[in-house]
Amino acid sequence: MNEFLHMGGYAAYVWSAYGISLVILITNIILPIRREQALLHDIKKKLQREEHKS
**33: number of Cβ within 10 Å:** 10
> CB–CB of 46/39 below 8 Å?
no
Binders in 1-54 for other proteins, by CB under 8 A: 4, 7-10, 13-14, 16-18, 20-21, 24-25, 27-29, 31-33, 35-36, 39-40, 43-44, 47
Binding site for other proteins (CB under 8 A): 4, 7-10, 13-14, 16-18, 20-21, 24-25, 27-29, 31-33, 35-36, 39-40, 43-44, 47
